[in-house]
Chain A
Amino acid sequence: MSQINQDDKVKPIDFSTKAHYLTKAFRSPFYSRQEPLNHLKEWGRWADYLSPHAYTCSGIEYFAARNACTVFDLTPMTKYHISGKDALPFLNRLVTRDVSKIKPGRVGYCCWCDDAGQVIDDGTIFHLSENTYRLCSQERHMDWLMTNTLGFDVLLSEETHNVAALALQGPTSCATLKRMGLDGIENMKLFDIRHFNFEDTQLMVSRTGFTGYLGYELWIDPEHAEVLWDRLFEAGNLHGIKPMGDEALQMLRVEAGFIQAAHDFMPANATIRTGHTRSPFELGLGWLVDFKKPVFNGRRALLEEKKRGHRYNLVKLDIDGNKPGCDSYVFTKNKKRVGTVTSATWSPSAKASVALASLEAPHGKPGEELLVEIYYQKELKWSRVMAKARVVKEVFFDPPRKRQTPPADF
């Protein structure tokens, strides 16, 4: 029967001491290596952990990810371990896509909904081995997952603190890992998982990432976190490796067109106001909804929506000029307000102001011309511009190398 593995929650600090309240934020298992490299000493908080905004300069870190390779600590990401004979039917009930298509050794992107077909979160399913999965997400979901285990023979545990993880992203990432001794890394296809002997433990590598480029994610037990970091930087030294903080990651993921919970949509389980949630169709995730599955959460509501039509479209905008359209209203050419920008950045690669925006349907068809109301200030003087913008279909940065196997060395 379903149960929580109670042992997993006691890491990484010892709760048996009554002084545990002194630890308000955890240090990542990579902290000893991050701290000296974090020249700016600007730490943010990502869920339970300290997480650097930037180590030296977010612009430099951004270019390192597009030009060489960067290391981003993703230990704080929520991770659940799901196993047992009903692991697959459980996941198939939970998420909208068909999980049986994610074979062992493969990773799949997914989203999951409440009964009303509103997105709770998106994430990735790692099919580690037969009947064993890892589910990664931005938010925490133990309550929803446990509710969903009813009737399934699965073992569910949170392993956020038990797995240290690094994202190595950028064109020289494959060469770096090759030099580190991961034989055959170049043969991994996008969304592949491989296990390597590393030091005296096992290192799991997946060809995944949040930057929309060639890249890998490395998963290891926290005890080997520091040696992994050291070996990675040793090997990457000749390939331009740099640590990267979350400011650069935000630029990269918007360029790549990736959405993020609490930025581009509100998790349905946390949304107070009526109408502020979104369905998968309204987030451009319709391709993740598989009605051929007879049962999954939100299916009835989503079928209904399919008939009725949806309320919003999440689109990519290419905005004229050089001002990023953060927090802006979006208007039609006739000045009718039809939506808001949810994420925006200046794209140094595309040399364009790019954004993700949530528009009232039917607006948002590729090619549609819109106006984005951008407020910006220069030396404390505020200006407003109604910048022309176009809805675009393709992501702003999508080089063939992303899918190339084997990838080039640089």
Chain B
Amino acid sequence: MCDSMPSSKQPQNRLAGNYTREPESVKKYDAIVIGAGHNGLTNAAYLAKAGLDVLMVEKNSYIGGATASRELHKNWIYSNASYVSSLLRPEVFRTLELSRYGLQIVPYAGGNVTMSEDGNYIGSYVNPDVSRREMARISPRDANAKVRFDRDLMRQCRFIRQFMLSTAPDPTSFKPRDLMGMLQMGKALLDLGEDVIYDMIRLYTMSISEYLDEYFEHPLIKAAKAGSGIIGSAMGVMSPGTAYVLLHHAMGDVDGTMGAWGFARGGTGAIARAMKDSFEDNGGTLLTGSGVEQILVKNGKVAGVALENGDEYQADIVVSNMTLPRTFLECMDQKDLDPEFIRRVRNFKIRGSSGKVNMALDGLPEFTAFEGNTELITGDMHVIDSVERLEIAYDDWKNGTWSKDPYLDILIPSLTDPTMAPPGKHFMSVFVQYVPPKVNGKDWTDDQRDQFGQTVMNQIEKHAPGFKDLVLHAEIRTPRELENEIGLTQGNIFQGELTMDQLLFNRPIPGYAQYRGPAKGLYMCGSSNHPGGGIMAAPGANAAREILKDIRKPNTVPEGWADD
């Protein structure tokens, strides 16, 4: 079969025992999408909606990628990787009819809380007066400065949000659409006013620590805000560029409440499940259980994919939802690519910095800081005192090991979502930073992975005595697991770091920011592309729009931005 296709490996039909296939009967799809993560599913669903015959291939036996929920302990649903939702574009939610397929995003009531070693804490609440009162408890000045902080951040959010659900214009191109796009961006910039323009350059280049110093004085308040600046980035709170990461986490919303976060009912995987149902209802075909061995290219055009199980599928359009390095360095014949392109792909910054500990709990842990407060623990919880402690946590990463005093983003989704665990029992999701892709330059061992898990549990135990006794089962994921199981290169959760050198028309690499790969018919739709990571579905949607444009099909993909 498919003898004419160039392939580094001779495909072997290992599963061919129960069927045979004649070369002339090989079905040719209009498009093949690789990777059933939320961006791949979004992309595939829009293509199918436009009438294309779409095949989606997924290496795992389950779908979702980093947007997956699996039952790893009986009667417990985990949000194995991504665990909260805020950035998911409502336009995508609506046009893929995700509500009809059962998806509910429920905002959590608790805001967030940061606990310090000395037993104090700073909470934030949904009601702004209550939040202000809480901040004034430890700093009346900071409570007031937050008004200015929110204003400045929201000004930048309103600018950047305009470009989320649209392709980034190329400033070097003279195509009318790029010129129009740049003009639009320029106009939006001018509309901001000069102060905001000055601020923008500073925000995009400063460290989160410096940026917070311009607003706040209390160490605990600064520590509470600084976490958002480092999540998913192999940078410290004092590294330039981390202020932007804060913006990336603030620009989302739940039902118009800017910066709010929520849970997908039924676990994060419910998002992927609804997208899959939408895709299949639009006539798409899903194939799970075998990864792509190679993207096949013939005469500079894509021809299809060869799977690890030996099967091959043909299509003139292949869309990769895999990371940039995985797509081009692992799943393509390097001879099919330009050396300059390969060099840039190799230089793409996609360092792993985080891990995940997911736990089934026999009951609700009691945090000593707030004596039975059941409201704050429904939000995201952190145990940190100061930006200095966060920076020291980063030092461990630089030294090639996981942080001994890590930054934790702790959530108990089962307090909000009754479907996650049996009544009275709980699911706890802990995002951990920093965790390096390799330990002292060597691959992780299982023993080290378990030690890392203990570090995290001990940290929580300090603030919730008796916590460890509640742990019935734990899924511990280092960057090794994130790469091997989900395919995230080096375990980077954003499929590439969110720094200015890799944003907008430079994401993922210069010249390739409009979702088109180096071979005709080859597209990229993952978070490696503009506008980046988080369960946003924007890269997948934007790529679908570009594909439909290239093949002159009517657009089925929403574009643009509804003002708040």
Contacts and interface: CB of A to CB of B under 8 A. Distances in A.
A272 B483 CA distance: 41
Interface in A254-298: 267, 269-274
Nearest to A19: B371
B140 interface: yes
Interface stretch (A136-144, A352-360, A392-400): A136-144
B192 A274 contact: yes
A103 interface: no
A48 interface: yes
Contacts of B125: 24
Nearest to B127: A24
Interface string B120-142: 00010101011011101100111
A274 B129 contact: no
A47 B140 contact: no
A146 B151 contact: no
Contact of B144 (A21, A116, A140, A272): A140
A9 B137 contact: yes
B182 interface: no
A143 B141 contact: yes
Interface string A113-143: 0001000000000000000000000001111
A18 B141 contact: no
Given A21-B123, A272-B151, A272-B154, A146 B141 contact: yes
Given A21-B373, A47-B129, A143-B145, A274 B137 contact: no
A317 B130 CA distance: 37
Interface in A143-166: 143-144, 146, 158
Interface in B266-299: none
A15 interface: yes
Contacts, number: 65
Contacts of A4: 140-141
B202 interface: no
A381 interface: no
Given A47-B129, A270-B147, A20 B137 contact: yes
A85 interface: no
B155 interface: yes
Contacts of A45: 129
A166 to B, nearest CB: 22
Nearest to A48: B133
Given A9-B137, A21-B370, A21-B373, A143 B129 contact: no
B376 interface: yes
Given A18-B371, A143-B141, A270-B147, A24 B130 contact: yes
B155 A272 contact: yes
Interface string B139-164: 01111110110110011001000000
Size category of the A interface is 20 to 34
B137 A141 contact: no
A337 to B, nearest CB: 19
B136 A9 contact: yes
Contacts of A15: 137
Contacts of B151: 269-272
A47 B144 CA distance: 13
Contacts of B369: 18
A45 B373 CA distance: 23
Interface string B534-559: 00000000000000000000000000
Interface string A15-45: 1001111001100000000000000000001
A143 B375 contact: no
A158 B191 contact: no
Contacts of B195: 116
Contacts of A272: 151, 154-155, 158
A290 B216 CA distance: 33
A253 to B, nearest CB: 21
B376 A21 contact: yes
B252 to A, nearest CB: 16
A144 B158 contact: no
B148 A269 contact: yes
Interface residues of B, number: 34
B144 A141 contact: yes
B109 interface: no
B196 interface: yes
B196 A274 contact: yes
Contacts of B196: 274
A25 B137 CA distance: 14
Q: Which of B125, B140, B150, B151 has the most CB of A within 10 A?
A: B140
Contacts of A47: 129
Interface in B365-390: 369-371, 373, 375-376
Contacts of A144: 144
Nearest to B147: A270
B117 to A, nearest CB: 15
A18 B137 CA distance: 12
Contacts of B127: 24
A19 B136 CA distance: 16
Contacts of B193: 274
B144 A274 contact: no
Nearest to B157: A272
B328 to A, nearest CB: 41
Contacts of A140: 132, 140, 143-144, 147
Contact of A158 (B140, B147, B150): B140
Interface in B91-132: 123, 125, 127, 129-130, 132
Nearest to A24: B130
Contact of A142 (B137, B144, B150, B155): B144
B147 A269 contact: yes
A20 B125 CA distance: 14
Contact of A143 (B133, B148, B376): B148
Q: Which of A20, A21, A140, A271 has the most CB of B within 10 A?
A: A21
Contacts of A267: 147
Contacts of A21: 123, 134, 370, 373, 375-376
19 contacts: A4-B141, A9-B137, A15-B137, A18-B370, A20-B137, A24-B125, A24-B133, A25-B129, A48-B133, A140-B147, A142-B144, A143-B144, A143-B145, A143-B147, A269-B147, A269-B148, A270-B151, A272-B154, A274-B193
Sorted from nearest, which 7 A-B pairs have the closest CB atoms?
A143-B145, A143-B144, A142-B144, A274-B193, A142-B141, A18-B371, A142-B140
Given A4-B140, A45-B129, A272-B155, 13 more contacts: A9-B136, A21-B123, A21-B370, A24-B127, A25-B129, A48-B133, A140-B132, A140-B147, A142-B144, A143-B144, A267-B147, A274-B191, A274-B192
Interface of A: 4, 9, 15, 18-21, 24-25, 45, 47-48, 116, 140-144, 146, 158, 267, 269-274
